[in-house]
Structure 1
């Protein structure tokens, strides 16, 4: 039952991620709002890449980032970033469909460089916090990046402020 709830949320939110990635124009990929920020392209790639972490999180008891099968990153082409998202989304969906409610209680941890980065935590909590909420957080950042560049923002949870203003102006 819990797996089905997580899968339902995952599918709905992945569509919102897809809308947001599709709203990113090529010309803003090198923009970054501050010296300490990622570029728009780096942030978009990271959002797409988090979906690749689902199989590592769902199938094993430990995600060792040192063994992570990353690909050569390309922050300069929005079409490649969108393609990366679609491939990773498919793997993430397949991994969530393979898990059972009983597996959600299993403990999971992340290590990097021989150090524990995330201590043993029930898998359900990791799926919601480390994966899902992580994506939502970065989508929020991306919306700010796009707004700062004057780009149209898609409505992820209904009409945007701009959409509402346009509707009121027509009345």
Structure 2
């Protein structure tokens, strides 16, 4: 039952993420509102990468960031980031579909070389916070970045500003 709820949200939100990533023009990739903030390319690439964390989160009780490796690929074109997203989201979907609900309450830890870097918590809390909500947070940042560059953004939960003005 819980798996079906997680899968339903996953599918809905992956489509929203796809719509957002598909609207990024190459001309906006280097934009960052302040020097210490991530660029559009870095945010979009990170969003795609979050889907790469599903296997370690759903299928392991410890995620060691000290051994984690990820190839972001070529982030100089928005289409490359979207392609990486598609690869990662397909793998993540398979992980959710094959997940074992009886393990959702297992204690999960993120560590770095054996030392915890996040407090241990039930895996389901990590799935909702570390995977799902974390992604939504970065999508919001990306939307703000795109708006600041004068680019459009998709409607995700109802009409966006432009659509609401036509009503």
The correspondence of residues 1-171 of structure 1 with structure 2, limited to 5 A, is 1-167=1-167
1: CA distance between counterparts of 2:103 and 2:94? 15
SS in 2 for 1:66: coil
| Stretches of structure 2 lacking an aligned partner (at least 5 in a row) | none
Deviations 1:39-67 (A, max 9, x none): 11001000000000000101111001122
Structure 1, 106-115 or 144-153: larger mean CA deviation: 106-115
1: CA distance between counterparts of 2:56 and 2:77? 26
SS in 1 for 2:119: strand
Deviations 1:71-126 (A, max 9, x none): 15433111110111001001111111111221111111101244211122111110
TM-score computed with the length of structure 1 as normaliser: 0.94
> Which runs of 4 or more aligned residues in structure 1 lie more than 4 Å from their structure 2 counterparts after TM superposition?
none
2: CA distance between counterparts of 1:74 and 1:43? 14
2: CA distance between counterparts of 1:18 and 1:49? 13
SS in 2 for 1:58: helix
2: CA distance between counterparts of 1:164 and 1:26? 27
- Pairwise CA RMSD: 1.1
2: CA distance between counterparts of 1:73 and 1:83? 10
TM-score computed with the length of structure 2 as normaliser: 0.96
1: CA distance between counterparts of 2:72 and 2:137? 24
SS in 1 for 2:30: coil
Aligned residues: 167
2: CA distance between counterparts of 1:163 and 1:99? 38
Q: For the structure 1 residues 73 and 116, does the alpha-carbon distance in structure 2 shift closer, same or farther, using more than 3 Å as the test? A: farther
SS in 1 for 2:63: strand
